[in-house]
Structure 1
């Protein structure tokens, strides 16, 4: 299985907006263009958080409009800059977008670790989340699978 991971786009509602003097949309477009040109036989795309910097609906629309051109299933997790309500509303309108834990492989499980702390620019793992991770790892071990932990 060939997976491509793209992460930390930090898009804004406006394509020309900059973060640390970098136009994030331009970097995102260059990355997707490079992947389309150079990577063949891709089975799926992993989008691993921080799609948006400002959490706007428009930034998620920019992302999904570009990502759908891969014509592959997209598996994603939220990042600490993402607005869950807005990203879910835009991404889940598309049938090819799925939660990363829906990515099935005979030898691997993909487990999302939610480290999002609403309103903060850093992550935190709650006690409840640690128990959730533990339970998922036990299930993976039961089926003799390797686990890939992905955190938002």
Structure 2
């Protein structure tokens, strides 16, 4: 059954490399993304937009970004990109937004659609696996939330702002998560917080807000593992978010075409 409109699509951690035939952990990122996009074209055509929550590239190469842009153009919708720890934000700004990113600037966005506000935060820190929002971005977030207290809002970023129960992943989360969460806890209009980074499904509620990751389109990590471990039993997926009034209902769509893989009602 097609998703209820209006809706948008979240994908994450595509990890494309300069070489389209490259493989990592015996998996080809390009081929896995193509498979996921084929499913989306068949099951979720005509989204309002596509949200990519970081690690667009596995090596920060120009060719990987150009190829990703070309692939996502097939969904015939605006695409909003966030940087992850494997990305080159300066190159992303140039190729995806046609602008020069000033030194130490962040790729933040805010836009309104279908009665909702989307706030996209940049948690990437050059040269580090972990993330940080920073005081300037937190101030901007607070002011942006204060400007529309009655508008249902979704906040997105690359890194997980909450621990997920895997020691090695929780060592590379958002360094200033506590002050970030304080802002989010105080904003009743924030219905969902979306992220990637952890290469697995994660859904939890905190103070009435749903915190949700989407699996990678590339390769999954084993949940609750104290050290790095792949999970070949879990498949690549995308998240479809349907917007209705002040409610966001979501489903995970598996790269094998299963829909819903899991469902969540806000």
TM-score, normalising length: structure 1: 0.85
Give distance in 2, aligned partners of 1:58 and 1:92.
16
RMSD of aligned alpha carbons: 1.9
Q: 1:85 is matched with which residue: 90, 93, 105?
A: 90
Q: Answer yes or no: is 1:114 the counterpart of 2:122.
A: yes
- Size of the aligned set, in residue pairs, is 145
1:96 corresponds to which residue? none
1:42 is displaced (CA, Å) by 2.0
When Rg is computed on C-alpha atoms for both structures, the one with the higher figure is: 2
Give distance in 1, aligned partners of 2:157 and 2:25.
24
2:140 corresponds to which residue? 132
Structure 1: runs of 5+ lacking an equivalent = 94-98
Which secondary structure does the structure 1 equivalent of 2:45 belong to?
A: coil
CA contact (8 A) 1:5 1:48 kept: yes
Runs of 4 or more, structure 1, over 4 Å off, are none
Give distance in 2, aligned partners of 1:70 and 1:26.
16
TM-score, normalising length: structure 2: 0.51
CA contact (8 A) 2:60 2:87 kept: yes
Which secondary structure does the structure 2 equivalent of 1:125 belong to?
A: coil
Q: Deviations over 1:80-103 (max 9, x none)?
A: 22101222222235xxxxx88354
